[in-house]
Structure 1
Amino acid sequence: MNLQFGLYQQQSLKLTMTQELKQAIELLQYSSQELVSFLEEKAIENPLIQLEHTNVKYIDLHSDGSKKRKSYKNERDYKQWIDQISQSSINLQDYLFMQLSLKTLTNSEKAVLSYLIYNLDSNGYLTVPIEEVAKKNDVELVVVNRCLDILHGLEPVGVGARNLQECLLLQVNQKKDCPTLVNTILTQYFLEFADRKWKPLSKQLGVEINEIQWAADYIKTLNPRPGAAYHSEKAQYIVPDLIVTLENDTIELDLFQKHLPNVQFQKDYYKMMSSYKDQQVKHFLKEKTQDYQWIMRSLQQRKETLLKVGMAIIQKQYDFFLKGPEYLKPLTMKEISEEINVHESTVSRSVREKFIQTPFGTYELRYFFSTSIMKSNSIDEVDQASAQQVKMRISHLIEHENKLKPLSDQGIADDLKNEGIIISRRTVAKYRDQLNIPSSSKRKRFA
């Protein structure tokens, strides 16, 4: 074994990632918003790049403003235009302060109530202990409790509660038609009721179990989140990257890019700077020109790859786009990569945070990749079903079950087996949890 130091020549092959390749990979995995941000940053860095936003219309100040506006074609167009007008809304704090302005309060009460209101969460619950409120405002605990009672008397009913039990009791106490059993359950047996230990609870209370069920139905009419109605967020709209249209059983795929800016080359700036004989200026122009060309090639490659992946998904999930989500088939990224002759990681980057608009709604591209489950159609024939199909069947079985005798996970597995879908009880429980469906004991009704 030679352990001597020295200079040696060795020939080897290795794959190096160029800057252009790295940039192409980054652009492929960018979502639409990330791509717009990237292009805007590049336009700031590179004076040869100019972005033109197609969704922004410029007003010609020299045009004749006396032209008549286009009339609405029909009432439907008018309503759509009205929908674009923003509505004024009031938040929970403002609504509570507006009610307090009608009451006669001392300065200390105003200070404590303000502190309480500003420490409500989005659901209207108080997030700080009353001892801390008293300490922060340098008042007695009696004053805090009095202010809390004032807060509990405001609308929406239940605001200022410190837990769910108190929130429900505040609402029940203001209802004149509230059954006595409901008040008793919420006051003394809330944990047993919440854990659905209804049989021992009915014995303790000396009532039939169906009366517990009626009390539960009444409690469900109460609002567990009284402040949520005043906490609204603007809807986040999804802009699809691909659009599928269906005409006469013919599927067409289009790349939607109207929301992306057009990348233009600044010819005037290039001509002006080319007139300079400074070598640093020439080097700068060459570098920025290459940068522009790399971006254009990367964008073009991104378009082509997205269309290839989209077309491959349509071919594999043809029944889905014709008939609906219940016909979704099992599919892996490896199958798509082999179909379009690219690496599996390229497919993974292509579907990252990309959306496709279909006749049945807008879906994330990752939605179409689902694991397979054995499905036996006969003794000799074995087929495969996707996990999404199985979840839909589980949801359908539970939706149409007898609520007095709900299906257990094993019962669902047996029913699916009769349909030819081979699945274990543990897998049923996993899919049920993913669907946010409670267990059979919590779905059971007694009346």
Structure 2
Amino acid sequence: MKQGLSLRVSQHLALTPQLQQSIRLLQLSTLEMAQEVEQMLDDNPFLERASDEAEREAFGLEHSDAPVSLGDRMVEWSEADGPASETDPGFDPAEDAIPLESSWEGDGCVDLRPDDSEWGGDAPARHGSRDDDDTLTAADLASEHQTLQAHLHEQALALRLNDDERCALYFLIESLNEDGYLAEPLEALARALLTQEMHARALSLDAAEQAEREAHWLQTLRTALHWLQHMEPAGVGARDLAECLRLQIMELRNSPVAQAALAMCQQPLELLARRDTRRLAQLCQCPEDTVRQALALIARLEPKPGRRFADVARQTVIPDVIVTPQGRGFKVQLNPEVMPRLRVQDVYANALRGSRGETGAGLQQRLQEARWFIKNIQQRFDTILRVASAIVERQRSFFLHGELAMRPLVLREIADELGLHESTISRVTTAKYMATPFGTYELKYFFGSALGTETGGNASSTAVRALIKQLVASEDPKKPLSDNQLSDLLKEQGIECARRTVAKYREALKIAPAHLRKAL
């Protein structure tokens, strides 16, 4: 075996910690980004939220590197160290402007930099949560959301119940799901109540006593369920959809149509879903005309009684980008509400200048992490803005005429235009939203595959879905369009779209098949 030395040149990509953090921040949603900022504020003492607002001419990395005078920075902490002026012995005019290094990858320097100051000045300061000692105002009380459970508890206060009945009713109300249904069987709830009672009173019961007490709670729960199912909204406390519909029908006046609807809800729900009037008429022994009227009545009922108590504010989508008309074009800007206003704590950074040893090295690393975090956030929003601007430029027809004018667009086109990788564009467009004159959409909404046309061009799949929705909205309710008919209508407009593709798009739009859309 002969030994020797050889030299080989190779290239490999190493992901530095700051690059890994940049990639991770890029794919976070607005809510996840806010949580990440709060976590970093708690962990890193050198990072703080700016308390005052600063005007910025524009957003971008190139504007964040503008030199800031030392005197302006010293104003922020002059209350602790005294006013800084030219008469002070420590004032040096030569340090009035400090250049910023071109690299932000991290060089271990802990000197003050212009970019350590406030970032995101257009964003208003976030108001802290109200202290427990503060008094609630009328506006605060009016804006508070009322849950289904709170609404039912208010009604329960008007009932004359003994302690066990009130306990059972409270337990049932708290056991309801967000739709207002009672998913757990009464037997399981009775056993849970017995366990709580034995634990609270430190009781030791034998098997016979436990069975007797469990039977008592089961009977009490049945009584409480009777009271619950007579509360508002109608249908609350139902165990399944059929019972929910029956409870709502019983609240209506007694009429032949209501009686027929009540009898139909006792039949298999598949017949109601298929609108099989002939079979329902045979099972309920009612005329088909009455069955049709009963089906129309059932269609007006609420299948989810707790729907109107849902907290809509929690489900509100906050856009990352706002697009507004401006002259003959459109203005694309970041939403200042989602831009965190962060800066490096200048006082701590100055105190760290002369520190040495292991403690100083560890603190210097935390200071550098704070700078990396601010820079990565800047880069994240700058990339989102660039991608959003490119999308608006490519989909200009959409912003002028709506979704019917959407053009085919793939991630590769935006990646090639901006000089980024497709995976980067995918991260940017995931869970990021754009507010447009036609509504708020996810950035991925503007990307769609191409369908061929008779003229040799391409039509966007998003525009085809919008066209299908328009055709279904204008159809005759008594003669709804089938998937084959929709495919033929699209071909008449020069769009080659097979029946399977139409069915896939229709299901994506949550449009029922033709036999379920047919009016009775």
Q: TM-score range by the shorter chain?
A: 0.7 to 0.9
CA distance in 1, matches of 2:172, 2:384: 52
CA distance in 1, matches of 2:27, 2:4: 45
Query: Which of 203, 215, 220 is the matching residue for 1:139?
Result: 215
The match for 2:233 is: 156
Deviates more, 1:405-414 or 1:205-214: 205-214
2:129 paired with 1:56: no
Distance 1:188 1:88, change over 3 A: same
Distance 1:47 1:159, change over 3 A: closer
2:253 paired with 1:176: yes
Matched ranges for 1:361-440 at <5 A: 361-376=439-454, 381-440=455-514
Deviates more, 1:141-150 or 1:412-421: 141-150
CA contact (8 A) 2:274 2:515 kept: no
Matched ranges for 1:137-286 at <5 A: 137=194, 138-140=214-216, 143-179=220-256, 180-188=259-267, 190-204=269-283, 208-276=287-355, 278-284=356-362, 286=364
Q: Give the letter for the 1:139 counterpart.
A: A
The match for 1:302 is: 380
Q: Give the letter for the 2:240 counterpart.
A: N
CA contact (8 A) 2:180 2:238 kept: yes
CA distance in 2, matches of 1:219, 1:375: 43
Equivalent position SS for 2:300: coil
Equivalent position SS for 2:215: coil
Q: Give the letter for the 2:481 counterpart.
A: L
Instruction: Note the residue ranges of structure 1 that are not aligned, 5 or more in a row.
Output: 60-81
CA distance in 2, matches of 1:102, 1:301: 58
CA distance in 2, matches of 1:97, 1:292: 48
CA contact (8 A) 1:50 1:266 kept: yes
Distance 1:348 1:119, change over 3 A: same
CA contact (8 A) 2:260 2:286 kept: no
TM-score by length of 2: 0.71
Distance 1:302 1:132, change over 3 A: closer
CA contact (8 A) 1:309 1:336 kept: yes
CA distance in 1, matches of 2:284, 2:491: 43
CA contact (8 A) 2:403 2:466 kept: no
Query: By how many angstroms is 1:89 displaced?
Result: 5.3
Instruction: Write out per-residue CA displacement over residues 343-389 of structure 1, whole angstroms, 9 at most, x where no aligned residue.
Output: 1112112222222222222222111111111122xxxx211111111
Distance 1:123 1:243, change over 3 A: closer
Query: Which of 129, 150, 167 is the matching residue for 2:185?
Result: 129
CA distance in 2, matches of 1:39, 1:144: 47
CA distance in 2, matches of 1:414, 1:153: 51
Deviates more, 1:319-328 or 1:195-204: 195-204
The match for 1:19 is: 17
TM-score by length of 1: 0.82
Q: % of aligned pairs identical?
A: 33
CA contact (8 A) 2:264 2:280 kept: no
CA distance in 2, matches of 1:151, 1:282: 65
CA distance in 1, matches of 2:145, 2:21: 44
CA contact (8 A) 1:273 1:281 kept: no
Query: By how many angstroms is 1:274 displaced?
Result: 2.0
Q: Give the letter for the 1:432 counterpart.
A: R
Instruction: Write out per-residue CA displacement over residues 256-290 of structure 1, whole angstroms, 9 at most, x where no aligned residue.
Output: 345433332333323322234x3335534543454
Query: By how many angstroms is 1:175 displaced?
Result: 2.3
Query: Which of 389, 395, 418 is the matching residue for 1:340?
Result: 418
Distance 1:287 1:220, change over 3 A: same
Q: Considering only aligned residues, what root-mean-square deviation do their CA atoms show, in Å?
A: 3.2
Distance 1:156 1:281, change over 3 A: closer
The match for 2:396 is: 318
Deviates more, 1:397-406 or 1:112-121: 112-121
Instruction: Note the residue ranges of structure 2 that are not aligned, 5 or more in a row.
Output: 54-123, 129-137, 195-213
Aligned pair count reads 417
Distance 1:318 1:181, change over 3 A: same
